[in-house]
Each structure stands twice: as C-alpha cells, then as structure tokens.
Structure 1
Amino acid sequence: MDAILLVGGQGTRLRPLTARRHKSLVPVCNRPAIDYLFAWLERSGIRRAILALGLANEDLAARYPAGRHRGLEILPIIETARLESGGAIRNAVETAGIDDRFLVLNGDVYLDFDFAAALAAHVERAADLTLALHEVDDPSSFGVAVCDPDGLVTGFVEKPPPGEAPSRLVNAGAWIFERRLVDEIPPGAVRVEETLFPSLVARRRVVLGYRFEGHWADLGTPARYLALHRALLGAGAAIHPGASVHPSAALAGAAVGEGSVVGPRASLSGSVLWERVHVGEAAELVDTIAADGARIGPGARLRGCVIGPGATIGPGAAPPPGTIVDADGQYHEPHAG
C-alpha cells in the first residue's frame, strides 16, 4: 500500500522558525518531524511514501531523495504549480502510478495509532473514504466531523466558534482513499476537505469516521509544537549527543539540538533549542523556541518567545512574553515593556 504525504506547504504559521527550513524538517526531540511519520508508516506496513512537494521545497527533496529510507521506498514528486490538497493527490497518484487503495497524510502532523485496525474497519464497512478522527478539548481551530451512531460522517464544520462545535472530533490529517475517488476530485487547485469530502457526504457515499485514541498533534503553530514536546518529554529532557550542557544548568521538559551550548546556571523549562543555539550563563527560557544559530545572552529572560534562526537576544534582555524575533533579528532591551 502506498502513502501520499502532503508536504507542499510553506509553513507560514510557524514563521520565523521555517524561514530557512521546511516545516517537515522542524525538529521534534532532535529528529525531523517527518521522520516520525516515516517510522509510523513503516510500522503500519506501508511500502512506499510519495512526497507531494510544492514549490521552494528543495531542502526537503534534498534530505529525502528517491530511494530506500530504512524500510520505506521514498518517491519525491516535485509540483510545478500550487495544487492544494486535491490537485496534489491527483498529481501524485498519476505520476506514481497508484492503481489501488492508498493513504494520504498531512505532512505537519504527529500521530501514532493502529493503522491496521483503521484499515480493517475501512474494508469491513466497504467505505469509499475513511477519515482518522481525534478528540480534542478545543476544536475551534480545526475541521470538525459530525458522525452518526454507526460512525459514518454526516457533516463537517470548519473552525467552529469556541463552545459551538457539534462534536470534538477533528480531522487528524490521515485519510484512506479508494482509487476511484481520484476521478471525483474537481479539476484545478482545490482542497479535498472543502470539495470532495462534503460532496461524498451529501451524496450519501460511505465516508467512515475512524476515531482513534493514540497520540496526535498538529505542528502548525509554535504553541502546538511546544505542546507536543511537553507531551513527549514530561519533566525530562532530550539532549543531542553533539550538544553541550553545563552541569549546573537546569532542564525540565526541554530539547537541546546538535551543536547547541547551554551555559552555567542557565534554566530551560518547556523550551526547545534547535541546532547551534548558544544560551549564556544564568539565562532563563520558559516555553520558548530558539531556532538554528540563535544566541541568547547571559542573564536574558524569555517567556513564551519564538526566536528565529540567527537571531540575537542581548545580555540581560527581557522581551515581553510572546515576543517573536525574526530571522537574524536582535532584541537588547533589558526590561520587559
């Protein structure tokens, strides 16, 4: 069985973190996020992963060229125009020669559930389409699915206002397609979530909502990215063997990437350092992300900040909570405004 990974987006919601790297290469506990999807696909018995690459995705294409990657065959497909999810699926199916049932994954999710059980339910119900659904506490920023008592999808609500969602089951970005559905995707650059899926439901086709209990996260925003690390790390830490952490530094729920340096008496809580980040003596980072090559000066205090690649936070600086510093930007104010 083949899987199509929709990895053509530009990661705009994660900027400035994605200013210099593809969103699928964003590190999760010091591994590229897409590596977790590859590992899950391999465990699930998928034989080939087709990367539907959009424009300006050269770094991802270079990182995962055509060929074997562990137990998977990787096939990158470069799109020459913006296709959205529907056009990308059609293009990947035709280019890769897919002639049977296949799986589609959004490239900016983290998931772990029993795919064999989902596939068995799809086959048993003779479904045209199966959507993996996951229950969340606040579905207001997601696409919500409404299901009948038999688990069939009866409708969709996109980003319902807080407290008004008809259910808490959200589209988890994993879909089992029958090959015949590709011919029903409208032409052009269209999103299947807004065209094909509602059309199938309206025509009373069998669209199964498969609810799973495994772990799931949308990596589309810095807040969700940090929440995933909290879920994976708890109070522990993920320190790359190529990083240097001073024995007097305190880490809790933190990840430290390759080539990064954490100085004496520095404190990292719920924070993520990418590669080659330097954290000075007695600096304090709480719920903060620092991208490649960022430098945090001694005594700096950061809370809920997003520090872009190559950015500099001056000694003793204390940006207001939630501050975003662009790539190569600087912040030197000693007191929060």
Structure 2
Amino acid sequence: MKAVIMAGGEGSRLRPLTCDLPKPMARLCGRPIFEYILDLLLQNDFDEAAVTLRYLPNAITRRFGSDGKTGRYREMDLTFVEEEQPLGTAGGVKNAAKGFDEPFLVISGDALCDFDLSAAMRFHQERGAAATILVKQVEDPREYGLVNYDRDGTVTGFLEKPDWAQASTDTANTGIYLLNPEILDLIPDRESYDFAKNLFPKLLSMGRTVCAYPCSGYWCDIGDLDTFLACQRDILNGKVRCVMPSKEATGIYCAGALPQGDYEIIPPVYLGEGITVGDGAVIGPNTVIEDGCRIGRSAKVKRAVLLRDCYLGDRAACTGALLCANSSVKRGASVYEGAALGAGAVVGEGATVRPGVRIWPGKRVEEGAVAAVNLQFGTVRSGFFDDDGVSGETGVEMTPEFMARFGAAVGTVLKGKTAAVCGLPDECSKMMKRALISGIQSTGAGVLDFGELFESALRYGTQLCGAQMGVFVSGGLKTRLALCTGQGLPLPRSMERDLDACMQRGEFSRCAYEEIREAEPVPGVLEQYKLALREYAPGGLSGMNAAVKSASPLAGRVLREVLFGLGCTVESGLQLHIGASGTRLAAADEETGYVWAEKVLTLCCWDEFQKGNDVALPYEAPRAIDRLAGREGRRVLRYLDCPTGACDKEARALAERQPWVRDGMMCAVKLLRMLKERKATLRELLDQIPGFSIAQKSIPWEGNPGRALKRLAGEGYRGDAAEGVLISTGKGKVLVRPAKRGKGFKILAEAANFETAMELCEGLQEAIFRQEAPKETPPLDL
C-alpha cells in the first residue's frame, strides 16, 4: 500500500526547538518523530511513501535519502517532493500522489500515533467512501479541527478550532486520511488548497460519501513544547506502542551502556550513548537524556528532555524543561517547568529561567540573572480572552507591561493599519491606555485616541472613523479590555487566536524610530455620537418625559443632553436605565414596573419589523424576536460573539447598518420616539410583543465542555454554526453555552414566565452534571 507523508511543517509553536530543524525531525527518546511514523507504516503493510517537504528539507533528505529525490527506510521506498510554494495540505498531497491508482493514506510526519491503519483502510474500502477521516476524542477541542458524524460514520459537518462556546463535540480530525485517487482531480493545480477547509466540504456538497473512523489508540499532535515533553513521558510510561531500546532495568531504557558513577536514577528514563553523570546527581522520573550529554555532580534532572550534547553543571537543576542540542546550564543555575533553551543557548552560574520562558538559540542569560521573559521575543501567556474580553486583577495580571505587550500584539495583527482607543476617565484607565497605545505605536500601526468615552461610543466611533479595530480600557480593581472590529462588532475567533498567538510566542512586529506614528487625538467623536443619537428621533421628542439613570456618569450626562436637545423633559417620567458600558437599556414606569433590557430590545426590533426591515441580532438575543419577525413577515439574522469563520457573514453585514442593537443609548432615543409617534404608553407597546421571561445561571465546570455538550445533544449532533447548544422544549428554549476558557457554562432559558424559565435553567444544570458519568445520553427532564 502507498502513503503520502506531510513533512513540510515549520513548527513555529515549537520554537526554539524548531529554529534549526523541521518539526518532523524533532527527537522523541533519541529518534526523530518521522522515524516513528515510518515504523507505523511498515507495521501496517505500507511499502511506498511520497514525502512532501518545504521547511529545511535537507534535514530529512540527508538522513533518509540518497540523491535528494528518493530514499529508503528499511523495507520502504521513499520519494521526496519539495514544494516551491505553499500549496496547502490538499495541494501538497496532490502534487506528491501523482500516479497513485489505488486508495492511499495521508499522514502527518509530525504527530505520534499507533493506530491500526490497516483496519481503517478496510473500513474505508468496505464503506465505499471517497474519503475517510481518522478521528480521535480529545480533552481540549479548541486547538483542533472537529468532525461531526452520524452513528454509521458518515461525516455531517466540520468545526475549525472553535472556542468552548462552539465546541459541540470533542472528536478531532487527526489529519490522517484515506483517499480514493480520483478525488485528487477536484484539487486545483498550483494554488493553496486544504482538506478540511476546501476539499472535504466540497465532497459533501457534491453528495460524495465522507466517513469518519474513530480510533482508540494513542495519538498526539505535537503542536507545542508542552505536548512535545508530554509525548516523551507517554513513551517512557508505555502508553504508545513503539520500538524502544532494550531496558537495563525496570523503566530504564539505554541506547548504550549505563553511565558509571554514584548517582540515582528514578524510572522511567531514557539515556542515550556517551553520557557522563557526576556523583550525587539525581535523574528522573520521566526524563530523556540524549547522546553526549554531561550531567554535573549533585545536579537534578526530572520530567525534562535534554537533547544531544547538552551540559548541566554541578548543583544545577532542570525541572520539566527542554534543553535543545548543545545548550548549557552552568553551575548552580535552575531551569523550571515549561521553559526551553534553544540550541547553543547558555544559562550562567546561579541564574534562573522561570517557568514557561524561552531562550532563543545562541542567547545567554548572565550569571545570577533571572530570566522572567523570553530572551528576544517577550513573555508567554495563553488563553487571554474570556467572556468579558481581556481582563484581570489590576497590578497582578493586568499591568502597564502587559498592556504594552498587548498593544504590540494588536499592532502586529493590524499589520500597520489603525486602532481606535478610548477609556474611562479614572487615573488607572488613563495609565493603562497610555501603555496600550505605546505598544501599538511600537509596531508602526496607527492610533486614533478618542479620549475618555464609554464602550458604546467607542463602537460607533471605530466604525465612523474607519479604524480596523477598537479597544476600550476600563480600570479599577479589575482592568478590562473590550475589543471590537472596525464595524463595531465582536472580534471573530481568528483575530482572537492571532492576538493570543502573538502574546504566547512574544513575536511582535517592530518599526524603526522614524516609522513610529503619532497617536492622533480625535476629540469630535463624542459630538458625532450625539448627532447619531439625535437621528433616531428626527421629529424631536417634545412633550416626552424621561429620567436617565446610568452607572456611567459620562453616558448618563450625554443621554440627558441629547434628550434635552430633542425637546424631552429629563427630570421625571419614564426611567431609562443605561448600563455602565452604554450598550444595554432597561426601562421602568409606575404602570409596568421594571422592563428588562431583553424586552426593550424586542420592542425596538418590533419597530423595525413594522417598517419592513430585517434585523441582525447577537446569538443570545431572545428567541421571542424570531416569533415576532415571523408574525410580521420579516427575518432575524444572528451573528456569533466569536465566529470561527464566515458562517455569520450575512448577519454581520446587516449588523453593521444597525448599531442600535448593540447600543442602549440609541435604543433609549428610539424607544421614546416610538412612544411619541404611536401616542402610546410603555404598557401598550409591550402588549404588541410576545410575553416571555429570561432566566440565567452560570455554573463552574472542571470537565470537558465539548464532551458534555456532545452527550447532552445526543450522539451525531451536527454542531451547526452556533455558540453552545440551543434546546427546544415544550416549556421554552434553553441555550447552554460554555465559557470561553472552558471553566464553566452559561445557561440562558426563555419561557412564558420567570418561574418556568428558572425551572429550565435548573433542569439543564442537573442534566449537564449528569454528563460526566454515563456513556449514554440521559433523557432531559425539562
């Protein structure tokens, strides 16, 4: 049988390990990942493989090839195909598989697994599928492309690296495929084309059968340094079926003779050839030390990987870290969990490399110094976005240093374009905003400084001024950053991932001093915003009475000024409650009592339907609005808070023209205009919309949200473009949505009254907590 091995990976998230070698040549327990893949193919009766190459191809051809074009590994013939330009996963495979006339395997050269590939091939042929995707359950689905499929294995849809809110399954695409050769004709020549993004969806649209084959063996997509280290621990602990050197003793694997000396070994460990170990040293457990390494007296190495020819001095310590080839940790120095030294890097005597810090190849940490940030590229932190944006305790997680780095990430993602920035008027917000602006400027990107505003005004101003991103800074005990696109909408998942990647790797754009652009003050934004508010009542509001209450003094003052200018009395009457951000409006009067923001939004939507307009709403907005739209012969389009692709493109395009949906101030003027034009009371307007109540609950969660949602929704749930799972019952609707960081669920229930809505919330909470134990999905008692 034949295979195509994709071995062109650069492995940017594995830096500094991959600064000088391609990802498939990273070594696991003394051998390149690529060799483990070749062994697996041979064990499953594959005897011929085409290998796609791009990044540092000579590192592979020198080891496995003879003339740079062909090679051999044991009984397997290899053909090397170098990509001159990136062709994507499918484009590269088509280029390599020319002449294949039978079903063949596609496998990554940089992921370790021990799947039964022969059984998968039999399944593929028996089902008569055009393509079969090998899938595997994962604990954290956010870093993978996910596959939804029916009970019989027929693929129904895909989700590409979602956040927890959209991870409706935990079944990952392993990047291992079985393909019929005729489908290669669907792949265009000489252009980038991917399997998951392009080819497989095209096959589904053509009605061709695409199957999923669940695998129960070991699989590790070695995407970052943590998984690189964890994979080696799994090998040492026997979790992977693979070839290992003979054991000297229980749990001790040696490529050569066991080093002489008076030291202690705590299994499991792997020791290469030509190693020297000083007296009193302690090695292990879960440690890999490759050929030629030197370990000093009383040194300690545990849960660590030392590649070839590393040096660990007397009394030095390496715990849970990676030392690349020829790197050195001198006497008394310490390198901690998750840290990595690039090839040839040096840590001086008594120095400390703190957890998670990366030292790039050839760099030096001076004696006694503390490396608290990446030497060259900045610090490392992942998962910055939560449901509130980017937030943390002021002076702890959120510092001026962090703000400058995050600003640099914003500027890097914008690639020289412009960000709009504003903040609250307190000193903390001002300080944090200055640091943020400095970071953006350091990349050469432009800054529009709107001064002191509130969030809804920022969204409006960002769209008005043509900026590509908006950032609102709110200080205090907790500092929060709220970000929006140039259209005033929530950021898509791709932009959040880009910002996270910049922060995690510390790889920011930098500009020369003459390229630094001055932050441009834009003092007129607030006046333009006031004019926009006035446009929602072109005939004025004379004769109306309203009292404004707001947690934001500035927002309250602005709304009072606008209403007064429109002829409204602003000291009594209908109470308008504006949230601190200015994005939500609630109302109250003596007849109706308090009217929640969801019902006020529904009233504003009804007004649009009466005018013959469709409305674009956030995914969480009340479903009663859909019923109202159907009654009026209109549509509701819903956009996602953090879409993974262009699934909500139409909704977002409409939302750009309807800023009032996200702006409580605009809704306030709109509501008063409705009351005046219809000569109605708030009670009379509310009678025009369906009656409903909303109840919410937030619950903590330590398990896998994607797996819980999969069981909750039933096996084979298709996971359409949505955030969470929307469940319809005889009593109402319930939206179950994981928190962005996966540490909890938000339950939003909608029913005829509040008591019923709360019952639905509590019923779903109980159902979620039942998901961890049973394998079968329990019935929902709602």
Short-chain TM bin: over 0.9
Distance 2:197 2:31 in 1: 32
Aligned position for 1:261: 294
Shift of 1:282: 1.6
Displacement of 1:265 after TM fit? 1.7
Which residue of the partner structure matches residue 340 of structure 2?
A: 306
Instruction: Say whether residues 1:220 and 2:223 are aligned partners.
Output: yes
Query: Gaps (5+ residues) in structure 1?
Result: none
Are 2:216 and 1:183 aligned?
no
Identity over aligned residues, as a percent? 30
Shift of 1:84: 1.7
1:236-260 superposed Cα distances (whole Å, 9 cap, x missing partner)? 1111022223353222101111111
Sort the Cα spacing of 1:335 and 1:329 in 2 relative to 1 into closer, same or farther, 3 A: closer
How far apart, CA to CA, are the structure 2 residues paired with 1:185 and 1:247?
61
Report the residue type matching 2:193 in the other structure.
V
Q: Distance in 2 between matches of 1:50 and 1:243?
A: 36
- Provide Cα deviations, 1:3-36, integer angstroms capped at 9, x if missing partner: 1111112222211111111211111011111000
Which residue in 1 is equivalent to 2:103?
A: 101
Identify which of 261, 266, 273 aligns with 1:241.
Answer: 273
1:54 and 2:54 correspond = yes
Q: Which amino acid aligns with 1:139?
A: P
Q: In proportion to residue count, which structure has more strand?
A: 1
Deviation at 1:306, TM superposition (A): 0.9
Cα distance, 1:191 vs structure 2:
1.4
In structure 1, the residue matched to 2:556 is none
- Cα drift, residue 109 of structure 1: 0.5
Contact 1:53/1:61 (<8 A) preserved: no
Matching of residues 132-143 of structure 1 within 5 Å: 132-143=134-145
After TM superposition, give the deviation of residue 160 of structure 1 in Å.
1.2
Partner in structure 2 of residue 231 of structure 1 = 234
| Residue equivalent to 1:31 | 31
Q: CA deviation at 1:75?
A: 1.2
Residue 280 (structure 1) aligns with: 313
Count of residue pairs brought into register by the alignment: 335
Q: Which residue of 2 aligns with 1:170?
A: 172
CA distance in 2, matches of 1:222, 1:44: 29
Residue matched to 2:356: 322
1:117-132 correspondence runs (5 A)? 117-132=119-134
Question: Residue 68 of structure 1 aligns with which residue?
Answer: 72
- What amino acid maps onto 1:233 in structure 2? L
Q: TM-score, normalised by structure 2?
A: 0.42
Task: Give, in whole Å, the separation in 2 of the partners of 1:192 and 1:181.
Answer: 11
**Comparing both chains, which one has the higher relative contact order based on Cα–Cα distances under 8 Å and sequence gaps of 6 or more?**
1
1:291 deviates by 0.6
Letter in 2 for 1:82: P
Q: Secondary structure at the match of 1:197?
A: helix
Q: Which residue of 1 aligns with 2:88?
A: 84
Greater shift in the superposed pair: 313-322 or 137-146: 313-322
2:74 aligned partner, one-letter code = R
CA distance in 2, matches of 1:316, 1:201: 60
Deviates more, 1:126-135 or 1:226-235: 226-235
In 1, Cα distance between equivalents of 2:225 and 2:287:
14
Which residue does 1:157 correspond to in 2? 159
Separation (CA, whole Å) in 2 of partners of 1:84 and 1:242: 41
Matched residue of 1:252: which SS? coil
State the one-letter code of the partner of 2:276. Answer: S
Q: How far apart, CA to CA, are the structure 2 residues paired with 1:98 and 1:27? A: 31
Deviation at 1:327, TM superposition (A): 0.5
Structure 1 stretch 12-21 or stretch 37-46: which is displaced more?
12-21
Q: TM-score, normalised by structure 1?
A: 0.95
SS at match of 1:201: helix
Give the Cα separation in 1 of the matches to 2:280 and 2:3: 46
Aligned-pair CA distance for 1:55: 4.9
Partner Cα separation in structure 2 for residue 170 and residue 258 of structure 1: 35
* Alpha-carbon distance between aligned partners in 2 of 1:40 and 1:28, rounded to the nearest angstrom: 15
Greater mean deviation of Cα atoms: 127-136 or 60-69: 60-69
2:135–2:215 contact (8 Å) kept in structure 1: yes
Contact 2:50 2:97 in 1 (8 A): no
Q: Aligned Cα RMSD in Å?
A: 1.5
Q: Is the 8 A contact 1:55 1:82 kept in 2?
A: no
Deviations 1:125-147 (A, max 9, x none): 11111111111111111111111
After TM superposition, the structure 1 stretch with the greater mean CA deviation from structure 2, 32-41 or 250-259, is 250-259
